[in-house]
Chain A
Amino acid sequence: MEPLVPPFVPVIVAALLLPFLGRKAGHALAAVLTGAVVPYVWLVDAGAHFTEFNLFGFETVIFNVDPFSTLMGLIFAFIGAVGVVYSYYSEAAPLQTAFALSYVASSLGAVFGGDWLTLIFFWELMAVTSTLLVWHYGGKAVRAGFRYAVLHGIGGTLFLGAVIWHFAETGTFLFASVPGGPETAGLAGSVAPVLAALGVGVNVGFVGLHAWLPDTYPRPHIAASVFLCVYTTKTGVYGMYRVFPQDGNVAVAYMGGIMAVFGATMALFQNDMRRLLSYHIQSQVGYMIAGVGIGSALAQAGAFAHVFNHILYKGLLFMTAGVVVYRTGEESLKKLGGLAREMPITAGAFTVAALSIAGFPGFNGFVSKGIVISASHYDFVKGPLAFGDFYTLELLLLLGGVGTFMSFIKFGYYAFFHGEYDGEVRDANRGQSVAMVLVAALCVFYGVFDGALFSLLPFDVTDGAVVSHVYHTYTVTHVVEGVVLAVLGLVGFRLVKKPLSGLGKVPDVDSLYNPGSLYGSRALVVGVTELYARVDDAAVALAELSVRTAKHPDAAIARVTGREEVRTKAGIDRSLLLVLAVLVAALALLLA
């Protein structure tokens, strides 16, 4: 099919029209327009389109289609449409959904950009639109949104610096695959990739840069969380791939492994449902980052398969958690329990999503996580901590899997199965149920029919000519591995259940750097003003003698205007002294 418009256009149109069409018509139109992007990006021809559109006077490609973009576009548009339906039935305000769609549109713009400039342009736009989406909810979300904006501002600036560096080296913004692009893919030079890894690292939640994630995502409206959990981190994974398109990067791969373990461990300590899920975003994105870091065809295919699957089950998890919050008004697992009997559809959808994220055989997470783990074994260095046939990164990823099982057993146990819920709770309403069941069905579908998933991937993992090691989902060792992880998770949960329930709030890095940055910036401002005042005072004291002879300005003004008294705050004398000082300094320097 010939390209008509870049795929973000229909979504941005929907976002602009939505607030004016009324809730029902607006949401219906938005769901249709966003949904229409799915077949559109599926059918459109590969290659660079609309090359004549020059962003800021540079040669750019606003719409570039390759297998990676197509996969991202398909799942982004699909979950966007589902999110709109869910928003409508969860009583989200039209303006909020409009913000959400502008966020979806900027993400679509980013993944379909054929050059760094388009990518960074939409990247920054995403930071703005997602902040608006958080802010719209008000209350506690405002402060969290502010921290979110600041951190993403820093990350975006680092990435922008990397892109400018790349431009200075190569003289073009275009990707290598685009006609007229440079010869080698990725960012040129030695500094740019490091800057970009850190900048993108903020988006994907590198350990240490991740605190915005559990801080922000639990706070806004339940429907906003469904959107937020999808786009920022996954566009980050896509960006990381663009930065390291060949051979990956060892440090990034290990960072992925550490994220997988760290996120899952921190999740285990959480009682707020959406906060727990947020840590799991970090953990799951760890698998994708590990895949991108390993860098082989098998690993990249696995990473993007995991992006695809993760968006399905994580969206579903946030929907089920949202429904629980919507119906009970409770955010904390400590105050819930026994909901399985009251909300069978939600509990069922949750079970599917939990088994998917944990990677239980028969569910989609099992397939894609398996590819990444397989790549970490066959395509990656052994590493310092290898036990027998298990390599370091592989062990980290498997350990993350056990942690995932444990925390989802915890979530399910406390929310749905433990004890009785006193009082009446209704199950999800019809629209929410439709959205959840649809996504849950896809989670199972892609788990059982893994071929359907493989056909979407940029590399064919079942072809020995393309990947180093042909991947089979359902082998005895794989299935045993999946079941063993589940059993370990179950045993682990039994062991830590007691100590966990006595545990209070576990601090994360943000408890260090939030006060740090607050007092740091305050100290800077106060320090600078104070320093200026000191320097100023000293200069004035020196000049006092000569100034005393000059006419006193206050009295003069008071006489002219006929008022009793006028005071000058920053005196004329100081200003003149400064002019003189600068002049003397300039002359001394130039003539020296």
Chain B
Amino acid sequence: MSSLPALLVAAPLLGSVLALLAGLVRSETGWPVALVTAAVQVAGAGVLASRAFDGTVSYVVGGFTAPFGIELVVDGLSATIALLVAVVSLAVLAYSRVAGPRTNAFYAVYLLLVAGLTGMSITGDVFNMYVFLEITGLAAYALVASGEGGRSARAALKYLIVGTVGASLFLLGIGYAFVATGTLNMADLSTQLAAVGYTEPLVQAAFALLVVGLFVKVAVFPLHAWQPDAYAGSPDSVSALISALVSTVAAYALIRIVFTVFTVDFLQANPVARSLLVAGAIVSIVFGSVLAVSQTEIKRMLAYSSVSQFGLVVGAVAVANETALIGATVHLVGHAVMKGGLFLTAGLIATATGAQTVDDYEGLIQRLPLGAGAFGLLALAMVGVPPAVGFVGKWYIALGAVEAAAWPLAVVILLSTLLTLAYFARILERMFFRDASGERVAVDGVSPGMTGVVVAAALAAVVLGMLAFEYGQLLEPTVQALLS
């Protein structure tokens, strides 16, 4: 099946339409359709990944050969992200069956988001990437708005406006690059841009626009303002899905744009461009953590934690060596599992006990041992306690920064462990070492699927950490190709 890459995008689109049509026949039929689609997606992404690690898989859409037509290019990095998207969307489905939302429209948009994310991961064409970025964005705005009440709607509106501005900047950047080179294919762009000259104002402006546009999508401080509202305002299953995937795929796009389109030579020719990335990383890590410490609501705290963690990934992009990029990929995957898991656990805890703020978590171990245990495990993984996956990603990134002699960044990365501990230690101490203050609330509305997926996420955070070093070796050829 050589057209597997295209099918990987088409399958969720088809599922999305099916879910909508099924709703006309009978309400609340979206979930099974989504489940089947997501399962197919996991299988497809798995097969594709097993091929992509042997050698880059490419597919020409509609028979128009590159550089004129659209090309789908799958290397180890794209395949990893595509598989991550498929697996996480399947896992969140297990949670959302009981937790809701249950309308068919919701699942139609859910699958549309999966299609957009998968498309972004595997496309080899910048304009095509913009199209998928917009699909992803629009689906995400709609999903955030699917919560009940004004809070979701407000968060979605803010997300919509800020996100659209970000996407427009991205499009402007593509326009500049197109004006400079006359091509949209990534591989072709990289040679053409080199021919135009890396110090041309047109090329530099294109870089600035693309990077700032993606910074908005990744939620780098201070362009993160949409993100805490969106994560905290949406239903639990949506928070988990978008926190695990949307910024992750945007960060993947950043890696693609910086290394495949502009290449390391551009960064070397423009030290300021690298400084821009370093500044974004440092500011995000520090301020994201500090703001996370000052939050009282769990979901907002987790949201600010994401700002800080993506700072690490941006930092790895700025370092631009092999070790750091392996670290960035491991951290992207690890963060998706840990943060998605944390949001689902927070949702589970809120459903079972009503606890939503840091103070509500006092003595949680007595009331809900499983929830508290999973939250504790994921939080420690996020802090970077070995052997969890959070440690491996940070370790590689820190090592990369040291190898590249980027000392300020290395210091901040080491410091980030302490900062992460600062906001999680408060909760750990409350959960495990204090007595419950409130009344015991009867457990209610927690399905086996919800429990199962939370436990699976917690275990995955540890197991992935043990596999991550082998994975890093597997990824080495891809990263070498990216950096050459």
User: Could you list which residues of chain A lie within 8 angstroms of chain B, going by C-beta atoms?
Assistant: 54, 56-57, 121, 124, 128, 135, 138, 142, 146, 149, 153-154, 157, 160-161, 164-165, 167-168, 524-525, 528-529, 532, 553, 556-558, 560-561, 563, 566, 568-570, 572, 574-576, 578-579, 582-583, 586-587, 589-592
Contacts and interface: CB of A to CB of B under 8 A. Distances in A.
B216 interface: yes
Interface stretch (B20-28, B96-104, B115-123, B269-277): B269-277
Given A54-B469, A572-B162, A578-B225, 4 more contacts: A149-B425, A164-B399, A589-B272, A589-B276
29 contacts: A57-B472, A135-B433, A146-B425, A154-B418, A157-B417, A160-B414, A165-B402, A525-B290, A529-B290, A532-B287, A557-B150, A568-B154, A568-B158, A570-B225, A572-B157, A572-B158, A575-B161, A575-B223, A575-B226, A576-B161, A576-B165, A578-B223, A579-B165, A583-B212, A586-B208, A587-B205, A589-B272, A590-B208, A591-B205
Contacts of B290: 524-525, 528-529
A575 B169 contact: no
A189 B84 CA distance: 42
A297 B432 CA distance: 48
Contacts of B270: 590
A553 B205 contact: no
A590 B205 contact: yes
Contacts of B73: none
Interface in B245-284: 270, 272-273, 275-276
A556 B402 contact: no
A582 B219 CA distance: 13
B302 interface: no
A528 B403 CA distance: 31
A153 B384 CA distance: 13
A143 B354 CA distance: 28
B95 interface: no
Contacts of B398: 164
A132 to B, nearest CB: 9
Interface in B372-393: 385-386, 392
A54 B473 CA distance: 14
A121 B386 contact: yes
B223 A561 contact: no
Contacts of A586: 208, 211-212, 276
A68 B166 CA distance: 60
Interface SS of A by simple majority: helix
A157 B204 CA distance: 39
A579 B294 contact: no
B311 to A, nearest CB: 14
A353 B151 CA distance: 67
Nearest to B215: A582
A590 B158 contact: no
A574 B222 CA distance: 10
B469 A576 contact: no
Contact of B150 (A135, A157, A558, A592): A558
B154 to A, nearest CB: 5
A316 B425 CA distance: 34
Interface in B176-213: 201, 204-205, 207-209, 211-212
B457 interface: no
A153 B161 CA distance: 42
**What's the dominant secondary structure at chain B's contact region?**
helix
A218 B209 CA distance: 59
Contact of B469 (A56, A128, A157, A583): A56
B360 interface: no
B468 to A, nearest CB: 9
B54 interface: no
A580 B429 CA distance: 41
A583 B472 contact: no
Given A56-B395, A575-B226, A587-B205, A561 B153 contact: yes
Given A56-B469, A563-B150, A590-B272, A168 B204 contact: no
A561 B149 contact: yes
Interface string B136-161: 00000000000001100110011001
B212 A579 contact: yes
A582 B212 contact: yes
Given A529-B291, A582-B212, A591 B153 contact: no
B229 interface: yes
A511 to B, nearest CB: 23
A264 to B, nearest CB: 34
Nearest to B421: A153
B293 interface: yes
A556 B216 contact: no
Nearest to A128: B385
Given A590-B270, A591-B201, A142 B433 contact: yes
A582 B150 contact: no
A583 B169 contact: yes
Contacts of B162: 572, 575-576, 579
A592 B212 CA distance: 17
A592 B207 CA distance: 14
A564 B169 CA distance: 35
A149 B417 CA distance: 13
Nearest to A586: B208
A579 B473 contact: no
Contacts of A570: 225, 229
B402 A168 contact: yes
Contacts of A556: 157
B163 to A, nearest CB: 10
A490 to B, nearest CB: 45
Contacts of B211: 586
Contacts of B272: 589-590, 592
Contacts of A153: 418, 421
A561 B276 contact: no
Contacts of A587: 205, 208-209
Nearest to B226: A575
Interface string B65-106: 000000000000000000000000000000000000000000
B222 A578 contact: yes
A561 B226 contact: no
B419 to A, nearest CB: 11
Contact of A161 (B153, B166, B207, B414): B414
A529 B207 CA distance: 31
Interface string B394-419: 01001100110000000000100110
Given A528-B290, A553-B154, A561-B150, A157 B433 contact: no
B273 A157 contact: no
B301 to A, nearest CB: 13
> 8 smallest A-B Cβ distances: which pairs?
A575-B225, A57-B469, A566-B150, A586-B208, A590-B204, A583-B212, A575-B162, A578-B222
Contacts of A528: 287, 290
Contacts of A128: 385
A157 B208 contact: no
Contacts of A160: 414
A572 B414 contact: no
Contact of B204 (A525, A569, A591): A591
Contacts of A583: 169, 208-209, 212
Contacts of B432: 135
A467 to B, nearest CB: 40
Contacts of B417: 157
Contacts of B433: 135, 138, 142
Contacts of B414: 157, 160-161
Contacts of B165: 576, 579
A583 B149 CA distance: 34
A453 to B, nearest CB: 37
Contact of B294 (A135, A168, A529, A578): A529
A54 B469 CA distance: 10
Nearest to A570: B225
A587 B386 CA distance: 41
B358 to A, nearest CB: 14
A528 B286 CA distance: 10
B386 A56 contact: yes
A569 B166 CA distance: 21
